[in-house]
Amino acid sequence: MSVKGQRWWLVGASEGLGRELARQMSAAGAELVLSARSGARLEALVAELPGPARALPMDVADMGSVRAAAAEVGEIDGLVWLAATYWPMAAQDWDADRVAQMCDVNLTGCARVLGQVVPGFAARGRGHLVLTGSLAGYRGLPGAIGYGASKAGVMALAEAMQADLRGSGVKVQLVNPGFIRTRLTDLNDFDMPFLMEPEEAAARILKHMGTKRFALSFPRRFAALFRLGQFLPDALWYRIMG
């Protein structure tokens, strides 16, 4: 599968991983609609891209904004969900407003956007959905209140859609990256193993989009720890993570 000549909606494209994926998809020949809250950043990105693209500001936490943007986008071949917000936070430091915002943007925002796209894809029997989860969604981690739960929800959404839509003509894929150098991970004050640059992460995602595989978790060695962690006894897992 190639994105050349296809029309894609990238949600969460104004910076970081989304911005770099937009660059690589545009270079590969895709026509892009780019959404995020910052119209100025989107317009600056559109000006840099080699292929056709348009900026469509949208707030995924606002249902009216999502519905209006989806109506303006029109028919697309694919959607990539990349939007996320993050603050490192332990349970002892619970900030109710920030936890609610992480859940509302990262998970409920994803559901809002999917609700405007999936029914049309299912009715046509055609479309491609790519959701960005996280290695942090596999099991509970220290300092991941809000973020880990929201990403686990996105991963569960992708898995449920794959269960329902496989064989329908609608392709569902999930990508679960580890640490990527962005303004969000810049908030972390701890060592981040296997820290990737956005360019490398975007290239892996674009390559995965051309395969028939459902899920990709990366970097491989780091992801193996989290995959194995699903089978470890609770006491051992929390001792390792602690």
Residues 6+ apart with CB under 8 A from 1: 128, 171, 209, 210, 211
Which of 86, 138, 147, 238 is flagged as catalytic? 147
Enumerate the H helices of the chain as residue ranges. Answer: 16-27, 39-48, 63-73, 96-103, 109-124, 147-165, 198-209, 220-229, 234-241
Angle CA 135–70–44, to nearest 5: 75
- Do 174 and 214 form a contact (C-beta atoms < 8 A)? yes
How far apart CA 197 and CA 58 sit, in angstroms, is 26
147 catalytic? Reply is yes
Residues 6+ apart with CB under 8 A from 92: none
Q: Which residues pair with 79 in a beta bridge?
A: 9, 129
How far apart CA 175 and CA 98 sit, in angstroms, is 24
Residues noted as catalytic:
147
